[in-house]
C-alpha cells in the first residue's frame, strides 16, 4: 500500500523542504506581503502540518502521482480578514489547502478523489469544498465530514 513520505520533525528535510516529500514550506506560506511562514514550530503547527501533508500526499497519489498546484494554504488572521474570508477559516489554523485540478483532471474528478480519500480508514480529511477553480480540503477536528459548494471566484478566499 502507498505510504506517504513524511519528514521527521526537527530533521534537516523537515526544516529545508517541508512536512512531506511533495509539500514545501513555500507552498504552505501565507500570501500576504511578508509571505508569513506556516507556524511550523509550535506544537500545534507541527501536528497540523504533518496531518495536512499526509492528506495532500494521498490525494496527489490517487490523482496518479502528478504535481498539484496549491492556490492557498496557511493564512494569518489579518490576511484572512483582508481577503474577506471568515475568521473561523481552517486556513488560519493551518489545516486547509485549496488545490487546482492537476494535469489530466477536472474539478469533478479531483473532487471524487478527495471524497474517496476522506472515506479511507485513517483519513483525517473532514472538510471538502467544491469550487469552479478546484477543491478546498481541510483536516478540521470533527468526526463528520463537512461538504459544501462555494461561489468564491478565486482560490485565495475559499
Q: State the residue for C-alpha cell 462555494.
A: 150
Interface with Zn ion includes 130 (CB under 5 A)? no
| From candidates 98, 118, 128, 133, binder to Zn ion by CB under 5 A | 98
Question: Measured from the CB atom, is 64 or 150 closer to Zn ion?
Answer: 150
130 Cβ contact list (under 8 Å, min separation 6): 107, 111, 147, 148, 149, 150
**Cell (9 digits) for 138:** 481541510
DSSP string, 50-70: HHHHHHHHHHHHHTTS----E
Question: Measured from the CB atom, is 54 or 158 closer to Zn ion?
Answer: 158
Interface with Zn ion includes 135 (CB under 5 A)? no
* Minimum gap (Å) between residue 96 Cβ and Zn ion: 5
Size of the site for Zn ion (CB under 5 A): 4
For binding to Zn ion (CB under 5 A), which residues are involved?
Answer: 96, 98, 136, 158
Amino acid at each position: 500500500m502507498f505510504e506517504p513520505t513524511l519528514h521527521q520533525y526537527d530533521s534537516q528535510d523537515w526544516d529545508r523542504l517541508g512536512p512531506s516529500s511533495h509539500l514545501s514550506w513555500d507552498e504552505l506560506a501565507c500570501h500576504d506581503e511578508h509571505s508569513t511562514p506556516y507556524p511550523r514550530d509550535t506544537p500545534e503547527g507541527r501536528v497540523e502540518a504533518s496531518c495536512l501533508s499526509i492528506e495532500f500526499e494521498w490525494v496527489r497519489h490517487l490523482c496518479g502521482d502528478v504535481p498539484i498546484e496549491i492556490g492557498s494554504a496557511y493564512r494569518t488572521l489579518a490576511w484572512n480578514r483582508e481577503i474577506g474570508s471568515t475568521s473561523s477559516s481552517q486556513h488560519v489554523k493551518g489545516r486547509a489547502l485549496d488545490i487546482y485540478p492537476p494535469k489530466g483532471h477536472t474539478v469533478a474528478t479531483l473532487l471524487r478523489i478527495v471524497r474517496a480519500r476522506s472515506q479511507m480508514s485513517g483519513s483525517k480529511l473532514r472538510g471538502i469544498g467544491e469550487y469552479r477553480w478546484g477543491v478546498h480540503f481541510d483536516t478540521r477536528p470533527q468526526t463528520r465530514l463537512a461538504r459544501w459548494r462555494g461561489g468564491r471566484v478565486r482560490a485565495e478566499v475559499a
